[in-house]
């Protein structure tokens, strides 16, 4: 196959963009190369490793002229670790990059030109923000205990006590467990042989309550020396819940289904704004509660509720957005595909004494059309917060048919967001404003909140 470059050629490129996994993207004579460990603006010499018809991969050989946005990452293993993809990019530039990514998708995929892009909401402190961490446990090549994070796209463990985006309390927890399993000769899990006991350490922290949870994922039924384990972990400030998770399967899935309580409560609590949530080891909860609050406040603001509206919150998870909206709406209906999440949503509604919500289990693209057909339900506002693949077309058609005054679209993927907005706006909606929120500093991900308003009062079609 004839390409502009072939394997082992060395060429100079200037990095123009970032790919989905944080790798730099540059062009050599129009041919696209993906180059790890580079940032936008870097002028680099690279060695071509693999070529395809339209693009290829290359390895960084020399930084000829570093980009102005390049910084020294705080974390010494940021480049190897799979957790942060762009810690070597100045945080303000990360925000500029993310905002532009959203804007470009809306322009290029959505075909939009006339809309208000409100300034991206960034983090005040883009470190130590994650409330949930999962540390794999294993052995280093020299046989010593390894606890840390997987190197990018591999299962080899980068041994470290200190993650710069996880909660600070993790440092003490990991140090303690590391000593504990060495002192009591507890065998770390070995993926190859499926032997050994301790697989993962899961920690969760309530950022506004200071409550801490530790759950040890084990390849077995019980953990030795529980009294000493509790004794040591209890000394860590905020410790509220200690448990085991049993996972004896040969699998990459971290958590098994069974939780065995060891000490304290089976859950911790946290707040997003005024709403309280109970978080158990298995429950879903947004990982950055500070930025989540900002995102939900934007969604609530865009929904513009005055107390007499009926709102549908589709893809509602554990009801976080629904409960936020219920503060100002007459009635909120949430739809979510995972039954356990709906159980949590109901519990959360109860503990907050929020009565004007109702939740349904099922696929949004089945529940909403069915209810519209059979019960002729209506909505003043519809909120959607789908996974990366965006909304199913049959759901968008039902939204068009129900014709709510406003649609608030919360998205974790600007490309599918743009596709779905194009569909709605070619029919009966107008793109009013857009705001990106950075929930995951040092990663390439970006959340976006969008307001659409209905163009014609008459229902688009029946």
The pairing of beta strand 357-361 with beta strand 331-336? parallel
- In the complex, least distance from residue 164 CB atom to ligand SAH, rounded to whole angstroms: 25
- In the complex, least distance from residue 319 CB atom to ligand SAH, rounded to whole angstroms: 8
Nearest to ligand SAH of 170, 291 (CB atom): 291
DSSP letter string, 44-58? EEEEEEEE-SSEEEE
Is residue 364 a contact residue for ligand SAH (CB under 6 A)? yes
Task: Give the residue, chosen from 93, 270, 309, 336, that forms a contact with ligand SAH under the rule CB under 6 A.
Answer: 336
Among positions 70-129, residues that touch ligand SAH (CB under 6 A) are none
Strand partners for 188: 198
Interface region with ligand SAH, contact rule CB under 6 A, candidates 79-87, 233-241, 335-343, 397-405: 335-343
Is residue 241 a contact residue for ligand SAH (CB under 6 A)? no
The pairing of beta strand 447-454 with beta strand 406-411? antiparallel
Q: Which two tokens stand for residue 346?
A: 């109901």
Task: Give the residue, chosen from 337, 377, 401, 425, that forms a contact with ligand SAH under the rule CB under 6 A.
Answer: 337
How many other C-beta atoms are found inside a 10 Å radius of the C-beta of residue 271? 15
Is residue 387 a contact residue for ligand SAH (CB under 6 A)? yes
CA distances (Å), 266 to each of 222, 263, 351, in order? 17, 8, 16
Question: Half-sphere exposure (CA, 13 Å, Cβ side) for 458?
Answer: 3
For residues 32 and 52, the answer to whether their CB atoms sit within 8 Å is: no
Is residue 254 a contact residue for ligand SAH (CB under 6 A)? no
Is residue 287 a contact residue for ligand SAH (CB under 6 A)? no
Q: Distance between CA 213 and CA 239 in Å, rounded?
A: 6
Q: Distance between CA 262 and CA 240 in Å, rounded?
A: 11
Q: Distance between CA 401 and CA 50 in Å, rounded?
A: 49
SS (H, E, C) 148-195: EEEECCCCCEEECCCCCCECCHHHHHHHHHHHHHHHCCCCECECCCCE
Is residue 390 a contact residue for ligand SAH (CB under 6 A)? no
Q: List CB contacts of 300: < 8 A, sequence separation 6 or more.
A: 324, 325, 327, 328
Interface region with ligand SAH, contact rule CB under 6 A, candidates 10-18, 76-84, 247-255, 330-338: 330-338
Is residue 64 a contact residue for ligand SAH (CB under 6 A)? no
- In the complex, least distance from residue 363 CB atom to ligand SAH, rounded to whole angstroms: 4
Is residue 333 a contact residue for ligand SAH (CB under 6 A)? no
81 is catalytic: no
Residue 364 belongs to what H/E stretch?
A: helix 364-375
Interface region with ligand SAH, contact rule CB under 6 A, candidates 36-44, 192-200, 303-311, 329-337: 329-337
- In the complex, least distance from residue 392 CB atom to ligand SAH, rounded to whole angstroms: 7
User: How many residues appear in the chain?
Assistant: 462
Interface region with ligand SAH, contact rule CB under 6 A, candidates 62-70, 96-104, 316-324, 342-350: 316-324
Q: Distance between CA 177 and CA 324 in Å, rounded?
A: 38
Nearest to ligand SAH of 93, 270 (CB atom): 270
Is residue 214 a contact residue for ligand SAH (CB under 6 A)? no
Nearest to ligand SAH of 51, 320 (CB atom): 320
For residues 435 and 118, the answer to whether their CB atoms sit within 8 Å is: yes
Task: Give the residue, chosen from 385, 397, 413, 438, that forms a contact with ligand SAH under the rule CB under 6 A.
Answer: 385
The vertex-149 CA angle with 161 and 132, nearest 5°, equals 80
Size of the site for ligand SAH (CB under 6 A): 16
Task: Give the residue, chosen from 338, 373, 455, 456, that forms a contact with ligand SAH under the rule CB under 6 A.
Answer: 338
Per annotation, catalytic residue among 105, 163, 412, 449: 412
Is residue 316 a contact residue for ligand SAH (CB under 6 A)? yes
Interface region with ligand SAH, contact rule CB under 6 A, candidates 88-96, 174-182, 188-196, 331-339: 331-339
Nearest to ligand SAH of 286, 398 (CB atom): 286
Give contact residues for ligand SAH (rule: CB under 6 A): 286, 315-317, 320-321, 335-338, 341, 363-365, 385, 387
Q: Could you list the active site residues?
A: 412
């Amino acid at each position: 196959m004839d390409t502009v470059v072939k394997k082992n050629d060395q060429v100079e490129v200037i990095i123009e963009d970032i790919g989905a996994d944080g790798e730099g993207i540059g062009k050599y004579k129009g041919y696209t190369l993906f180059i790890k460990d580079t940032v936008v603006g870097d002028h680099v010499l690279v060695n071509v490793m693999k070529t395809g018809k339209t693009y290829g991969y290359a390895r960084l050989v020399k930084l000829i002229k570093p980009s102005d946005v390049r910084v020294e990452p705080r974390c010494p293993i940021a480049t190897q670790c799979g957790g942060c993809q762009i810690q070597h990019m100045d945080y303000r530039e990360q925000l500029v990059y993310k905002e532009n990514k959203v804007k470009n998708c809306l322009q290029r995929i959505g075909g939009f030109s006339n809309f208000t892009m409100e300034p991206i909401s960034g983090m005040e402190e883009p470190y130590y923000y994650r409330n949930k961490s999962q540390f794999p446990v294993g052995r280093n090549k020299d046989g010593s205990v390894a606890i840390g994070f997987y190197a990018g796209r591999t299962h080899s463990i980068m041994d470290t006590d200190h993650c710069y985006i996880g909660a600070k309390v993790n440092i003490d927890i990991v140090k303690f467990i590391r000593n504990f399993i060495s002192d009591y000769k507890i065998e770390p899990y070995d993926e190859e042989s499926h032997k050994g006991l301790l697989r993962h350490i899961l920690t969760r922290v309530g950022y506004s309550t200071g409550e801490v949870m530790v759950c040890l994922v084990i390849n077995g039924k019980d953990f030795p020396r529980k009294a000493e384990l509790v004794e040591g972990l209890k000394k860590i400030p905020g410790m509220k819940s200690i448990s085991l998770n049993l996972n004896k399967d040969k699998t990459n899935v971290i958590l098994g289904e069974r939780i065995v309580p060891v000490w304290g409560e089976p859950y911790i609590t946290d707040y997003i704004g005024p709403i309280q949530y109970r978080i158990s080891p298995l429950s879903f909860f947004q990982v950055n509660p500070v930025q989540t609050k900002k995102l939900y406040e934007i969604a609530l603001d865009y929904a513009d509720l005055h107390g007499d509206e009926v709102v549908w919150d589709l893809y509602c998870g554990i009801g976080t957005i629904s409960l936020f909206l219920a503060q100002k709406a007459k009635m909120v209906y949430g739809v979510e595909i995972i039954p356990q999440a709906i159980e949590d949503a109901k519990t959360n509604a109860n503990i907050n004494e929020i009565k004007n919500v109702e939740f349904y289990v099922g696929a949004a693209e089945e529940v909403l059309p069915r209810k519209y057909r059979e019960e002729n339900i209506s909505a003043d506002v519809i909120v959607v917060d789908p996974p990366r693949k965006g909304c199913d077309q049959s759901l968008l058609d039902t939204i068009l048919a129900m014709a709510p005054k406003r649609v608030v679209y919360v998205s974790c993927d600007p490309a599918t967001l743009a596709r779905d907005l194009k569909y709605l706006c070619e029919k009966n909606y107008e793109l009013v404003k857009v705001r990106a929120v950075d929930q995951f500093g040092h990663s390439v991900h970006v959340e976006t909140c969008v307001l659409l308003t209905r163009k014609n009062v008459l229902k688009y079609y029946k």
